[in-house]
Chain A
Amino acid sequence: MRVTCRWLVGFLGLAVAGLLPGHAAAGPLDPPGYQKAFSCSACHGFAGNSKTDTTPILAGMAPWYFKKAIADYASGKRPAAEMEPFAKMVDVLSVDDVASYFAAQPRQPSAITLDPAAVQRGRAASTQCVVCHGPNGKGDASKNIPDITGQPPGYLQAQMLKFKADTRSPGDPVLKAVKTLMATIPDPSLADLAAYYSSLR
């Protein structure tokens, strides 16, 4: 208890500590998206900067892509028990507000440790991916092609496996090309590609 007592004495003289710079934008007076999105941070990290291997980073995500994902989850077209109820909730709250909030947050790329050899193999295997996602993996919004850089490797790999098995948004015409391609790539190469695109900034 002595430590606590000594600390207490110090505490009385302390000034109110400032906030970390990254949190300065948050607050009840900010755009409505903050409160509508803060429940998401339980899984997706504060301001959408997920730190885990399997949950995607929403910070800095293009609104068109966020809104398509929410629409597909909500309709059940992209089956995911862990997202469908929340996609419906986002629609109730205003998908535009939530999408704008996440789009405006500075993205911190995934810090999940990557095997450098896997990254190199993935780079070598990415020649067909660059046709659509571009040499930097940034995609092309005008063609509904998302930026996939810096996402967690576990998330990227899981999505590629879903494309391969056609369990993500079956029948979606904009996904036809990626699914055709994924079907030709062996599973270990998908893990390498996930590592490579996770490493891109």
Chain B
Amino acid sequence: MSTVSRRQFLMAAGAALGTAALGGVTGCATSMKGDFAPKTGKRVVVIGGGWGGATAAKYARLADPSTEVILLEPQKQFISCPMSNLVLSGVRTLESLTMSYDGLRGHGVKIFHEEASAIDAASRRVRVGEGYLEYDRLILSPGIDFQWDQIEGLPQAKDAVLHAWKAGPQTVALALQIQSMADGGVFVLTIPPAAYRCPPGPYERICQVAWYLKNKKPKSKIIVLDANPNIVSKTALFRAAWQAYPNIDYRASSKVTKVDVGARTVTTELGDTVKYDVLNLIPPQRAANIAVQADLVGADKRWCEVDHVTYESVKAKNIHIIGDSTIGIPVPKSGTVANAMGKIAANAVVSLVNGRAVTPMPPINTCYSWVNDREAMAVINSYRIDKNKVLQIEQKLTPGQSVAFGQNALSWAQSIWADVLA
């Protein structure tokens, strides 16, 4: 079993504290010393209040009200990544995608809006500020972080180049840049090599930006530099949708390796240099830092392999990993999958905490993509478990795009937001 050493654990905690102090966040982090919430009974700690972690916290409480559930999530409010491409086209506001965590509190989930800075698997502790929390089982739903160093010039540029791949301030900033761009301007979107969060997301974003530009800035165009050899998801459906947008210049197998913010250019590994007026560079991705620091990632140092039934890490006992940071289960990195994993892992963890057998349960996937302001399309995947491995039963695409699928997409969002949070 591979875990961080105590020295690494303390160093990571110190680094996190330093960051917090620089950011002016001192009060609570420094007051969190020692075992700041002593464990008195069965306890599950959840790291990350996104689609996977929030669902897991809620469903663990539903499964067993006698188990204490603590959620660690620095953000005070939940912001939905799904639907956030509609903010770029002005169809929705970020406020309409921003939700409270109060519903989880109603289920008895205890929430600390603090960042977990390290995990010590051997002592079953999570480091928070100067203190720590003990757990019986940990559910880790950390999401993704970016591999800034994969692109020359990006580590220095960082916030000057927007990814808008975690819904939040960057989403609004990118929408403003698009709105401020002169008619005739060039919007460049770069897509990282798979695997990355939300496989159809970049292509839905192309639709939304193209739709906006077609209506508001008809002389503008969008150049897409895709590191992948073809559209990664819903390929034929996106090709069909793009027939409505002659302003899209899609270039496959065009992996961006360099950005020059001064010259406003990006360069591909083939040496093509493209000038932009507005740039949206989606960097290559891996599991979030805490998973990498805790050595829960595989040999590729990117993603976490887990058991297909319990979601327990193959590298560390009592740590169950869900959502976009996982690899190996044949599912996309989607919100619906994270939600399904949250339920399954919650029930598995509660069963294990209570010394009971785990019932194997497969995940599901439903993923809508918006092609304009009213029409959507979807991909659906169902799964079964055979010999303790998740296998796909079927993948199906909607026969095309339609307003009716758009209405279903809205229903899906309303329903699953409630399933995650209410």
Q: When A and B form their complex, which 4 residue pairs have the shortest distance between CB atoms, in order from nearest?
A: A85-B382, A52-B411, A17-B108, A89-B382
Q: Please list the residues of chain A having a beta carbon within 8 angstroms of any beta carbon in chain B.
A: 1-2, 4-5, 8, 11-12, 14, 16-20, 23, 26-29, 32, 35-36, 38-39, 41-46, 50-55, 81-82, 84-86, 88-89, 92-93, 154, 158
- Choose one: A32, A42, A43, A85; the contact of B381 (CB below 8 Å): A85
Closest residue of A by beta carbon distance from B68: A16
Q: Within 8 Å CB of B415, what residues of A?
A: 41-45, 50-52, 55
CB pair A28–B347 under 8 Å, yes or no, is yes
- Choose one: A36, A41, A81, A93; the contact of B397 (CB below 8 Å): A81
- Indicate whether A42 sits within 8 Å of B336 (C-beta atoms), given known contacts A5-B27, A51-B415, A52-B415: yes
B284 within 8 A of A: no
- Choose one: B340, B354, B393, B399; the contact of A42 (CB below 8 Å): B340
B412 within 8 A of A: yes
**B318 CB, nearest partner CB in chain A, Å:** 18
**A147 CB, nearest partner CB in chain B, Å:** 21
B99 within 8 A of A: no
CB pair B411–A43 under 8 Å, yes or no, is yes
Interface 1/0s, chain B 85-112, versus A by CB < 8 A? Answer: 0000000000000000000011110101
- Indicate whether A42 sits within 8 Å of B25 (C-beta atoms), given known contacts A32-B359, A55-B415: no
- Choose one: A19, A39, A158; the contact of B108 (CB below 8 Å): A19
Interface 1/0s, chain B 13-46, versus A by CB < 8 A? Answer: 0000000000001111101000011000000000
Q: Within 8 Å CB of B105, what residues of A?
A: 17
Closest residue of A by beta carbon distance from B107: A19
Taken together as a complex, chains A and B put the C-alpha atoms of A86 and B395 apart, in Å, by 10
**B169 CB, nearest partner CB in chain A, Å:** 20
Interface 1/0s, chain B 326-369, versus A by CB < 8 A? Answer: 00000000001001100100010011001010010111101000
Size class of the contact patch on chain B: 35 or more
- Choose one: B62, B347, B419; the contact of A23 (CB below 8 Å): B62
B75 within 8 A of A: no
Closest residue of B by beta carbon distance from A20: B106
Which of A12, A50, A82, A89 is the most central at the interface, judged by chain B CB atoms within 10 Å of its CB? A82
Taken together as a complex, chains A and B put the C-alpha atoms of A37 and B27 apart, in Å, by 44
Q: Within 8 Å CB of A158, what residues of B?
A: 404
Q: Please list the residues of chain B having a beta carbon within 8 angstroms of any beta carbon in chain A.
A: 25-29, 31, 36-37, 59, 61-66, 68, 105-108, 110, 112-114, 336, 339-340, 343, 347, 350-351, 354, 356, 359, 361-364, 366, 378, 380-384, 393-399, 404, 407-408, 410-412, 414-416, 418-419
Which of A4, A84, A85 is the most central at the interface, judged by chain B CB atoms within 10 Å of its CB? A85
Taken together as a complex, chains A and B put the C-alpha atoms of A23 and B359 apart, in Å, by 20
Contacts A8-B37, A17-B106 supplied; 15 other A-B pairs, CB < 8 Å: A1-B27, A1-B29, A5-B28, A16-B65, A19-B62, A28-B347, A38-B347, A39-B343, A43-B416, A44-B415, A45-B419, A50-B415, A52-B410, A82-B398, A85-B395
CB pair A16–B363 under 8 Å, yes or no, is no
- Indicate whether A88 sits within 8 Å of B408 (C-beta atoms), given known contacts A12-B37, A32-B359: no
26 sample A-B contacts, Cβ–Cβ < 8 Å, listed by A number: A2-B27, A4-B28, A4-B112, A8-B28, A16-B65, A17-B105, A18-B108, A19-B107, A26-B63, A28-B350, A38-B347, A39-B343, A42-B336, A42-B340, A42-B366, A42-B412, A43-B415, A46-B419, A54-B407, A55-B408, A82-B378, A82-B380, A84-B380, A85-B381, A89-B383, A154-B407
- Indicate whether A28 sits within 8 Å of B356 (C-beta atoms), given known contacts A43-B366, A43-B415: yes
Taken together as a complex, chains A and B put the C-alpha atoms of A126 and B393 apart, in Å, by 42
**B241 CB, nearest partner CB in chain A, Å:** 16
Q: Within 8 Å CB of A50, what residues of B?
A: 415
Closest residue of A by beta carbon distance from B108: A17
Q: Within 8 Å CB of B361, what residues of A?
A: 35-36, 39
Q: Within 8 Å CB of A54, what residues of B?
A: 407-408, 410-411
Closest residue of B by beta carbon distance from A38: B343
CB pair B382–A16 under 8 Å, yes or no, is no
Q: Within 8 Å CB of B66, what residues of A?
A: 16
Taken together as a complex, chains A and B put the C-alpha atoms of A169 and B194 apart, in Å, by 39
CB pair A53–B411 under 8 Å, yes or no, is yes
**A74 CB, nearest partner CB in chain B, Å:** 10
Taken together as a complex, chains A and B put the C-alpha atoms of A14 and B111 apart, in Å, by 13
CB pair B359–A38 under 8 Å, yes or no, is no
**A85 CB, nearest partner CB in chain B, Å:** 4
CB pair A81–B339 under 8 Å, yes or no, is no
CB pair B396–A11 under 8 Å, yes or no, is no
CB pair A89–B343 under 8 Å, yes or no, is no
CB pair A84–B394 under 8 Å, yes or no, is yes
CB pair B28–A1 under 8 Å, yes or no, is yes
Q: Within 8 Å CB of A1, what residues of B?
A: 25-29
- Indicate whether A82 sits within 8 Å of B384 (C-beta atoms), given known contacts A8-B112, A51-B415: no
CB pair A39–B411 under 8 Å, yes or no, is no
Q: Within 8 Å CB of A39, what residues of B?
A: 340, 343, 361, 363-364
**B255 CB, nearest partner CB in chain A, Å:** 33
